[in-house]
Homo-oligomer: A and B are copies of this chain.
Amino acid sequence: MHGSPIKHCRQCGSAVEQRIPDDGDTKPRAVCPACHTIHYINPLNVVGTIPVWGDKVLLCKRNIEPRKGKWTLPAGFMELGETTAEGAARETVEEAGAQFEMHALFSLINVARVGQVHLFYRATLLSPEFAPGTETQEAVLFDEADIPWDEIAFRTVKETLEQFFADRRAGHFGFHTLDI
């Protein structure tokens, strides 16, 4: 990340200074010279599901940038007031209009370069009918052999799908962490 996205103080609107605060901190922050508010920028969690119907996995064709037209598991930014699993379920409803049962956390992937942590939960679809929202062009069930590997939107989705199929072949679903 180059530069700070914070130019003005959220409390009073004054232009901020980029400096190390006087409270023992070691990193530069956006500090307000008027009201002394210190602004932190923290990593974001992206939460989603691996929705399964029989042998098939549900993928969504993105209708928004980035990676419009590419395929993804339903996922999005975790919101305030929800758990990681609740966020993953919400995104699955929003992006695929799917009905499903949630299972265990399957993958936690750090993408430190962009300040994100991606978490995917396994889920079992209760119906093969979908009602995708405006962020999705179409929601389609894929057999493993038909997954469009070269058209997957995000590397965390590709890694999660690969590990999911490997675990399924092995007959046991584990929990997997990865840094990319």
Contact = CB atoms under 8 A, between A and B. Distances in A.
23 contacts: A1-B81, A6-B10, A7-B11, A9-B13, A10-B39, A13-B13, A13-B15, A24-B134, A27-B79, A40-B77, A42-B42, A42-B77, A42-B80, A43-B79, A83-B110, A83-B112, A84-B110, A84-B117, A85-B177, A85-B179, A105-B108, A108-B108, A175-B175
A131 interface: no
Interface string A84-122: 111000000000000000001100101010010100000
A41 interface: yes
Given A42-B44, A42-B45, A85-B110, 14 more contacts: A5-B11, A7-B10, A10-B10, A10-B39, A13-B14, A24-B134, A24-B135, A42-B79, A43-B80, A43-B82, A45-B45, A81-B112, A84-B117, A86-B112
At the interface, is chain A mostly helix, strand, loop or mixed? loop
A161 interface: no
Contacts of A11: 5, 7-8
Given A13-B14, A104-B177, A112-B86, A41 B8 contact: no
A8 B1 contact: no
Given A43-B78, A105-B108, A177-B104, A10 B1 contact: no
A12 interface: yes
A126 to B, nearest CB: 22
Contacts of A77: 40, 42
